[in-house]
Amino acid sequence: MGGGWGPRDDEEAKAAIRRALELGVDFFDTAWIYGEGQSEKLLGEALKGSTRPFRVATKVPAKTMDWPAHPGLDVRKAFPADWILECTETSLKRLGMERVDLQQMHIWTDAWVDAEEWREAAQRLKKQGKIKAFGVSINDHEPESALSIVASGEIDSVQVIYNLFDQRPAERLFPLAQEQGVAVIARVPFDEGSLAGRFTPETKFPRGDWRAGYFKGERLAETCTRVEELKKLLGPEARDLSTLALKFVLAHPAVSTVIPGMRRREHVEQNCTASDGRPFSKQTLAVLKEHAWARNFYQGAWD
């Protein structure tokens, strides 16, 4: 909603948020980096005055603006305590709220697990009542990079890419999160749109849509070939690809919630049908697990 996925439509974005509330969606994830605060602003405007319950999560970018995190990055420069406090205050002002339910570090490496800077800030924000919980967002396709922090029990949540293609979090991260009582927020359930079934090998992304780099070269054609194989599995348990993708993510008991991007009301209405209360059969899940595809299209996407 904040920009970067083609033309931005602020009024439709706010209408989509309000429609989501009407349909029972009660968790909204945002961040400064999504339009340099535009997403937070839109979310705050859309939620203002709502009588329906909701929770809001946002994220603090590294002060150094590094993406992704790497073990050699000095946490004292990337996430000094005063920076986390300052960013939280700024986010609260944009959102028009006195408290957010969840604050997250937008990048993470387990090299920072013993650092005092972020821990001090998290504790202070909780004590001040500015946040309810604190977590981390894991580097793209690196679920093993947060095993130590999850094992420490010092965070409340972990956000990670998990979808039909990238199933690696289920190997080690998810069991550990369950053991430690850490919430799992699954992001990119549609693999930046491919698993919603809207692309073909001839798809041309509009100007300003960064996915032109993500799916560059032969990447889009190969992805579409794999998506076509998934379409063969549609039926009574999932009649469209977006439902198939979302129900697969929600099927794992470690997953607390899933955060698909929904910029328009039609997206909201379609995606909410995945919460139909009818789980996949064991046979279907077994077949879906065979479609795992380990790769990282974020690498080189901005070259």
pLDDT at 79: 97
Reported as a pLDDT band with limits 50, 70 and 90, residue 234 is very high
* CATH no. for 10-289: 3.20.20.100
Token pair, residue 120, equals: 């001090």
Q: What integer pLDDT is reported at residue 67 of this predicted model?
A: 86
Q: How far is CA 86 from CA 41, 79, 89, in A?
A: 17, 11, 5
Give the separation between CA 286 and CA 292, rounded to whole angstroms. 11
User: Per-residue pLDDT averaged across 244-253, rounded?
Assistant: 97
Full strand arrangement of the beta sheet holding 255-259 = 27-29, 55-60, 100-105, 131-137, 157-161, 183-187, 255-259
Tens-digit pLDDT profile for residues 72-112? 999 999 999 999 999 999 999 999 999 999 999 999 999 99
Domains in the chain: boundaries: 10-289
Q: pLDDT category, 253, cuts 50, 70, 90?
A: very high
DSSP 24: T
